[in-house]
Amino acid sequence: MCADSPPPPQPERTVIQYAIIGIGPRGGYAFQRLMGELARRADARPARITLFEASDFPGSGPVYSLEGEASNWVNLTERALLLEAREEMTYSGVVVPGFPDYHTWAGFEPEAWPAARPDQFPSRRKVGQYMHERFQTLAEPLRAAGIARLVQSCVERVFYRDGACKVRTNDGETQVFDEVLLTVGHQPTEPDEQLAEWKETVARVSGLTLYSDPYPVSQYTGETGLAGDRRVAVRGYGLAMIDAVRALAEQHGTFTLVDGYTRRQTYALKGPTLVVAPFSLDGMTMGAKPLNAKIDRQYRPEDEELEQLESLLSDQTAQSTAKGVRFLTRTMAPVIARRFKELERPVRCGDLTLESVSELVERWLLDSTIQHGCIMDRNMPPEDALDIFIGMATGVRDVTLDYCAGQVWRQCHTLFRRAFSHGALPADVFSAIIELDERMKRFSFGPPVESHQQLLALCEAGVLTLDTLEDPAIECSIDGWTLRKGEAQFTATTMIDSVLDDPKVKRVSSPLIKGMLEDGLMAAVDNHLGVETDENGYIIRKEDGQPLPIALLGRLAKGTVIGVDAITECFGDRPAAWARAAARRARLGAQKSP
């Protein structure tokens, strides 16, 4: 999509000027909600919206790039991709057509999909195509009418001076706006000490290759992508690692499906040897998602139970007096315990009462290192962990308490977002809850069963080695990266860093965010995880604690909003809340403050 030019003249005072920086799924949806709110207001001044997006496919964003590989799957089942339709709207005489919900667009009928049939997971580029088409049908009539403008340049700085927002792009152009929304997604961060040392070594040693970002996978799957003898180390053992390993495996060999139900597979390498060695600090395997809706349904609390849980967790008085993470764990433990006791195949650990199970759940939530017969052994070989997770996810093995807890947690995650985001929890308590939620992702937001089956197939084929998985000693030299764990040793000439940084705003290296920090326009909350915003997404100025006409949605606001990385959250309440507040500013005679 081509950018619009030339830049518009200086805005008239009767026109309100909006800027949205970053037009991925969240920015595109925020744009849609803003136009919908403006269309409903009879008292609104004329509006002009400038959309800043440097990529070729606005609406999709880099994570869902249309140029991505088919091997990069969305970590959400197709049935759970509940992305609502857009209704037709008319703004200033311009008719914007409606657009179908995702299921209709994709031709997927959840009601016709048997509950016992394995779930399917669409590729990210398929979802990106939906997002891009959705954006185009919204933006094109508004651009033709001069209401919206697309600028395909990188924004380097945002200033707020003398009551006006100024946006400067990398081509030196500066524009003035009344309102700015940042939906910039994942931002680059300063490399940690280990990565910085590796970069220094690679810069002076030939024959070694370091990929500091796992995406796009095409950078290391091409003909010249792998250096030396095709021995690859992957830093990290999560979802991005799976994407990287699958891309390499499909480039250099073939997976064959052996069992259509359990998704069990074999792998055959073609051509020269390929060996991949992932590693992480704890070496813990993520739990696979339940295979289908029937199995998944066991973990969903009853509607009445969910309503009661949300009522307890949303209570502002209880939140304000909370003393620690037990505010959440003591409430969740009995919910998880009831689901566990009612499973078709729970692990048998004597005659535990419901109360005893609940106590054990809370102990585990507070300390995941405890050992018990109902809980997976943290010290088992990683290949065994893969096999056990596959068995539980497919319903052919007894379910452990920790796996059950993770699946119930996932079922409650939307509820957590509603209850805790911009609530009354003390900062230290909210920080502890976010830390627990991140730890629970190992069980609650693991990969599809098929991903684990592929990892097992690669292990059996000798392509994937897990001998140095847990916290190996690492030496980076002219020979490459040598990983040592006990008697096991592995040397790689290619390193892929698949660790995606937490949104600790003070480590972000992009000029846009660093500049706003230096200017005092934003500050991290007490837990240092992200930027402080109000309930409508407006940034709280560090100087006086007042909201600016600059809003931030997405992962950099993680300190005040939980669960921001989910694709469904891009279509959630936060963009809608911002749009309502931003449209109120368009009222004739409205004040400049949000």
**DSSP codes, 110-122:** GGGS-TTSPP---
pLDDT for the residue numbered 28: 97
The whole model's pTM is what? 0.91
Rounded percentage of the chain residues whose pLDDT exceeds 90:
73
Query: Is a pLDDT exceeding 90 seen at residue 42?
Result: no
* pLDDT higher at 257 or 228: 257
Question: Is pLDDT at 503 greater than 70 in this prediction?
Answer: no
2 pLDDT band, cuts 50/70/90, is: low
- The per-residue pLDDT for 529 is 63
DSSP summary character for residue 419: H
CB neighbour burial string for 522-554, b if at least 16 within 10 angstroms, e if fewer = bbbbebebbbbbbbbbbbbbbeeeebbbbbbbb
Q: Are 49 and 149 in contact (CB under 8 A)?
A: yes
Contact in structure between 438 and 472 (CB atoms under 8 Å): no
Six token digits for residue 483:
């990983």
Residue-level pLDDT at 10: 41
Within 10 angstroms of residue 338's Cβ, the number of other Cβ atoms is 16
Mean pLDDT of 369-386: 95
pLDDT per residue over 43-68, tens digit each?
Answer: 889 999 999 999 999 999 888 999 88
Alpha helices for 107-257 (secondary structure H): 124-144, 193-204, 218-221, 239-252
H/E run at residue 51: strand 47-52
Q: List domains and CATH numbers for the chain.
A: 16-188+502-584 (3.50.50.60), 193-286+448-497 (3.50.50), 293-444 (no CATH)
Whether 187 has a pLDDT exceeding 90, the answer reads no
pLDDT at 68: 86
Instruction: Tell me the per-residue pLDDT of 359-371, one tens digit each, with 9 for 90 and over.
Output: 999 999 999 999 9
Q: How far apart are CA 2 and CA 143, in angstroms?
A: 11
- 228 vs 384, higher pLDDT: 384
Is 11's pLDDT higher than 60?
A: no
Residue 433: pLDDT band with limits 50, 70, 90: very high
Q: What is the mean pLDDT of residues 277-304?
A: 97
Interval 85-90 mean pLDDT: 97
Q: How many CB atoms are located within 10 Å of the residue 24 CB?
A: 27
Task: Report the pLDDT averaged over residues 158-183.
Answer: 94
The pLDDT mean for the chain works out to: 91
pLDDT attached to residue 214: 92
Query: Would you give the DSSP letter of residue 482?
Result: E
pLDDT of residue 590: 59
On whether the CB atoms of residues 133 and 26 are closer than 8 A, the answer is no
The pLDDT value given to residue 532: 84
* Average pLDDT over every residue of 27-41: 96
What is the pLDDT confidence band of residue 14, given thresholds at 50, 70 and 90? confident
Residue 12 pLDDT: 46
Q: Quick one: pLDDT band at residue 7, thresholds 50, 70, 90? A: very low
Structure confidence at residue 526 (pLDDT): 60
Q: At what angle do helices 239-252 and 449-460 cross, to 10 degrees?
A: 50
* pLDDT surpasses 80 at 527: no
Confidence of residue 1 (pLDDT cuts 50, 70, 90): low
Please determine, for residue 560, whether its predicted confidence score (pLDDT) is greater than 70: no
CB 53 within 8 A of CB 31: no
pLDDT by residue (tens digit) across 126-155?
999 999 999 999 999 999 999 999 999 999
pLDDT band at 588 (very low <50, low <70, confident <90, very high): low
Q: How far apart are CA 550 and CA 434, in angstroms?
A: 25
DSSP letters for 55-86: SSSTTTTTTT-TTS-TT-B-SS-GGG---PPB
Tell me what pLDDT residue 589 has.
56
Residue 451 CA, chain-centre distance (Å), reads 18
Residue 296: which H helix or E strand, with range?
helix 293-297
Instruction: Answer whether residue 559 shows pLDDT above 70.
Output: no
Of 445, 457, 425, 446, give the one whose Cα is nearest residue 527: 425
Cα separation, 250 vs 252, in Å, equals: 6
- So what's the pLDDT on residue 6? 47
Q: ∠ at Cα 564 (33, 520), nearest 5°?
A: 85
- What is the model's pLDDT at position 224? 61
